[in-house]
Chain A
Amino acid sequence: MKIIIAGCGKIGTSVLSSLAQEGHDVTAVDKNPNVISELTNVYDVMGVCGNAVDCETLIEAGAGDCGMFVAMTDSDELNMLSCFLAKRMGAQNTIARIRNPEYNDTSLSFMRQHLELSMAINPDLRAAQEIYNILKFPSALRIETFSRRNLEMIEFRLSEDSELVGKSLVDIRKKYDAQFLICCVQRGEDVYIPSGFFTLQAGDKIGLTASQSEMEKLLKMLNAFKKQAKNIIILGGSKSAYYLAKMFESGGNSAKIIEQDEARCVELTSALPNATVIRGNGAEQELLMEEGLSSCDAFVALTGMDEENILLSIFASMQKVPKSVVKINRDELYLLAQKMGIESAISPKEITSNILVQYARALENSSGSAAVETLYKIFDGKAEALEFNVKSESKLTGVPLREIKLKPNLLIGGIMRGRRTIIPSGADMIMPNDRVIVISSGNRINDILDILN
């Protein structure tokens, strides 16, 4: 598919890289010639240098017949306008990054409709959501939710004293009656999609699916449960901080935000009546201690500086804060941070790329029997969790799973049928209108039928 990406900053470049890797024909538009020449050197894409709202530039990039037009400049208005123009020229789908909270409330649907946007994407909001999910189950490193929200995939690391250590998956299944499935295991650098004979070790990072209602019970049973974080400190008054604090507010809890800029503090207090906004430099450890760092449930570092986020979250762990979540934008630091023991790291650009990759796959497969509804790259991008909506009958439907020959390194992690959640065993079947969660490593799955060997 032909895809144009206008605006190649941090997020734009990350989107471009994942879409080009997916095999799409990507054209990058940016007004900075250095950015364009760098991109065309590193990725197999075409570059057009110019203003994304200029018709000449759009024509040169081929907006008239592209399948997807993605506007990722740092200005919301520019994104809207260039998407609008591209749509008028004939772009089939337009996607704009819109981050301003003012546009993201009630006016969003109006704008989307009248600008004919296929999707408005707000990386800050998505990042906040993901952090919020983690803080609900602080023992999780990450939580992926799927469309109906009653099935979740949770990632956590096995500690030495975990009951699961040293047991094979078959034994675990026999021992615990609970409905869950271990889908994915990371040991060192390698990622495994485990079979029944796989034996878990301490230090393994595992991903398991379970229904949302069972999750708490399950984690308690595994001695991995930590209480929901209620008292949190957010460092940096960025847009994601605002969204996160707002979510806490609506959940009845309150957050403390530390922000340096006075004007921003005033804005935040008027937008978030229940939050405590502290004006000060969050990098001062004195200030953090004074504001009760050692007694809070969770510490969330959301400043624009990756390094500051990482260092302060290390400081927070030293103060025995039970959970810290860090925003990291640069890939190389992401990996470094993991080595330093920071496991809950959120990258808005990775979240955005995942959404766009999923969207592109769904578009490519719009005629197929089941489209990708949700896609997560999990375990450092070494595996994928995909949700499919099975529309019609096919070779897969109505056959017990044990009789289906699946590709290697692939398993079915869950089935959602109406309001029911099925953690599949060999006897279960896929039926039309099910939503199926597929966990896979090393395969490129576009259609539910791709899971067949």
Chain B
Amino acid sequence: MNRKMVFHICGQMMLIEAALLLLPLITSVIYRESCFFSILATIGVALILSAALISVKPDNTVIYSREGFCITALTWVFYSAVGALPFVFSGEIPSYADAFFETVSGFTTTGASILTDIESMSRGLLMWRSFTHWVGGMGILVMVMAVLPMTTDRSIHIMRAEMPGPIVGKLVPRVRQTAKILYIIYIALTLLQIFLLAVGGMPLYDSMVHTFGTAGTGGFGIKSDSIASYSPYLQWVITVFMFIFGINFNLYYLALIKRFKSVFSSEELWTYVAIVFISIFAVALNISPIYGSLSETLRMSAFQVMSIMSTTGYATADFNLWPQFSRTVLLLLMFIGACAGSTAGGLKISRVIILFKSAKRELKKMIHPRSVSAVRFEGKSLDQQTLSGIGVYLSFYIAIILAVLLLISFEPFDFETKFSSVIACFNNVGPGLGAVGPTGSYAGYTAFSKVILSVSMLLGRLEIYPIIFLLSPSVWKKKS
């Protein structure tokens, strides 16, 4: 384990966080808010930490997948720990556990909140809270890779540890170029959404905040009723963009270099579209008695389905009040999530497809024990290693859900609330059902449970392994 290199790179990462804090700083200057000083103090802390970590000079710059995992996990923990400080310094969220929960929820694009009165928060801090979504959506390290020249050849290990999905490839030969391309697409889509929202009459500040929430598929808003008070046009724009940010970004790149054939033959994309439309239709049928007009029913159904499926977590209706069928559909969508390589959380559609296909193959094998067949995905047959990797991932996934459920089980909530809290946090959705529904918050949990749920959010965003490696003592042993 090349610990010095791990710390050295983490130091570079902290430098970037200090730079990122400039956006809320500027916001607070514009609105002349007192949170300016708490943000400034946080920048100072980030810089000191960064200088301390960068001063660790590595003996060699070689990193392997082990270091890649650790760098990723540590960076995310550091980012959340420091990112929580402005809330504490300003006194707007006095408890550090609460602020940490809120920040982790931001960076992991979960959108679960402990705030009960959002509208009383200062605008600078709300901007930071939403901006963490945007940063965490495409990945902190991917961004740093695009900005800073990496000191090592093997930075693919870092990218692989952070990018969601079972198979992480590169778009172009250089990691750095790949990271740049991804971010350029991300920024372009973000600007487009800000523009479309602003055109629809949303104030610029609101447009930016909501776009950050949508782009990272996070879900932090600035109003207690989330998006419900905005016009139907604005709701539709956000619905469409939630869909867009749930698609694998590689497809956008393929479209940019005019390889439309590969885009339209993407199995994952079509499955995604199919699931989206079927769910919208099913939910719309189920909730039509509640709403008057067809357009309103469709809008409500589409928004909620898209919000949950892309693991964003905005709401225009309190789906807690919907019939049981719709709520169950939404709960199932939380598990699936959107496409691999997007900013969304969840199991990812590609994994679900592959799991179904391997299940089918196993069934076939039982009937025809001598049959030889391959599991094909996106036109290529998958090797056994990928398949077993996905199987193992699923076991970890279920084990973690159960473990977290056990750990928070003494909380005084009903089972639906607790179960959906775990699902919503671990899959980075945000709002769950019951007390943690779209109108509720996580404020009622104890500090211990909040930390547990924060860890489960990190586990979900980084797809389990990096955090597990970080916690395992063998990684930190001197000689291995």
Contacts and interface: CB of A to CB of B under 8 A. Distances in A.
Interface residues of B, number: 15
A44 B156 contact: yes
B223 interface: no
B174 interface: yes
Nearest to B169: A46
A33 B383 CA distance: 10
Contact of A25 (B155, B156, B172, B383): B172
Interface string B165-178: 00001101111110
Interface stretch (A35-43, A267-275, A403-411): A35-43
B172 A46 contact: yes
Contacts of A42: 153-154
Nearest to B176: A44
Interface string A1-32: 01000000000000000001000011100000
A45 B173 contact: yes
Q: Which of A20, A26, A40, A46 has the most CB of B within 10 A?
A: A46
A43 B175 CA distance: 10
B317 to A, nearest CB: 45
Interface in B139-176: 153-157, 169-170, 172-176
A33 B382 CA distance: 11
Given A20-B153, A41-B154, A41-B157, A26 B173 contact: yes
Contacts of B170: 40, 46
A24 to B, nearest CB: 8
B224 interface: no
Contacts of B174: 25, 44
Interface string B94-115: 0000000000000000000000
Contacts of A46: 169-170, 172-173
Contacts of B169: 46
B320 interface: no
B38 interface: no
Contacts of A33: 383
Residue from B154, B170, B173, B176 having most chain A Cβ neighbours under 10 A: B173
Interface centre among A27, A33, A41, A42 (most CB of B within 10 A): A41
A40 B155 CA distance: 10
A302 B177 CA distance: 42
A27 B173 contact: yes
A19 to B, nearest CB: 10
B172 A40 contact: no
A25 B154 contact: no
A45 B154 CA distance: 10
Contacts of A2: 173
Interface in B244-267: none
A27 B157 CA distance: 18
Interface string A366-387: 0000000000000000000000
Contacts of B176: 44
B65 interface: yes
A299 B177 CA distance: 49
A41 B158 CA distance: 11
A25 B157 contact: no
B173 A41 contact: no
A26 B173 CA distance: 6
Interface in A22-73: 25-27, 33, 40-46
11 contacts: A25-B172, A25-B174, A26-B173, A33-B383, A40-B156, A40-B170, A41-B156, A42-B154, A43-B154, A44-B156, A45-B173
